């Protein structure tokens, strides 16, 4: 478990270093994810090591957003008179974006014959 966590942290650290050094517009952890992907493709041992820890963390991924969510609550008042406009923009755009993304995916999958197994 310690080794798996160490591997996660090292990939994140390498990702942070890489994105900063190269000035990439992606966050360090996302670059770290790609590094980890390369690592577990190469090593079955790494894969087995990572699996239990990764599955535990990802099963409770929602929990990790709670502190940031509480921070948002404190700023709700700063939205002030524009609360309605923001609520409409957020809800409207999120509904439209999910619908557009999913419908496009299904349509292109059908056109290119790349259905799921």
Partner 1 sequence: MTSLADFWSYLSEGPLVWLTATLLAYAIGDACFRGSGRVPLVNPVLVAVALLAGLLFVTRTDYPTYFEGAKFVHFLLGPATVALALPLYDNLGRLRRALLPVLAALLAGSLTAALSALAIARAFGVGDTLLASLAPKSATAPVAIGIAERIGGSPTLTAVLVILTGITGAVVATPLLNLLRIRDWRARGFALGVASHGIGTARAFQVNRTAGAFAGLGMAMNALATAILAPAILPLFL
Non-local (6+) Cβ contacts of 35 within 8 A are 11, 14, 15, 18
Does position 21 interact with partner 1 (CB under 8 A)? The reply is no
Does position 70 interact with partner 1 (CB under 8 A)? The reply is yes
Min separation Cβ 117 and partner 1, Å: 7
Min separation Cβ 19 and partner 1, Å: 10
According to CB under 8 A, which residues from 85 to 114 bind partner 1? 85-86, 88-109, 112, 114
Does position 45 interact with partner 1 (CB under 8 A)? The reply is no
Phi, psi of 115 (to 5 degrees): -70, 165
Does position 34 interact with partner 1 (CB under 8 A)? The reply is yes
- Give how far Cα 68 sits from Cα of 73, 84, 86, Å: 9, 22, 19
Q: Measured between alpha carbons, how far is 17 from 36 in angstroms, rounded to an integer?
A: 14
CB 28 within 8 A of CB 12: yes
Does position 73 interact with partner 1 (CB under 8 A)? The reply is yes
Min separation Cβ 26 and partner 1, Å: 5
């Amino acid at each position: 478990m310690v080794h798996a966590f160490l591997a996660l942290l090292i990939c994140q650290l390498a990702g942070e270093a890489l994105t900063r050094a190269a000035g990439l517009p992606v966050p360090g952890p996302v670059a770290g994810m790609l590094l980890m992907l390369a690592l577990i493709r190469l090593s079955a041992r790494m894969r087995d090591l990572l699996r239990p820890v990764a599955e535990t963390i990802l099963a409770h991924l929602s929990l990790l957003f709670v502190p940031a969510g509480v921070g948002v609550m404190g700023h709700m008042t700063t939205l002030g008179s524009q609360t309605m406009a923001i609520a409409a923009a957020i809800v409207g755009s999120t509904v439209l974006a999910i619908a557009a993304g999913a419908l496009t995916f299904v349509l292109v999958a059908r056109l290119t014959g790349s259905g799921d197994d």
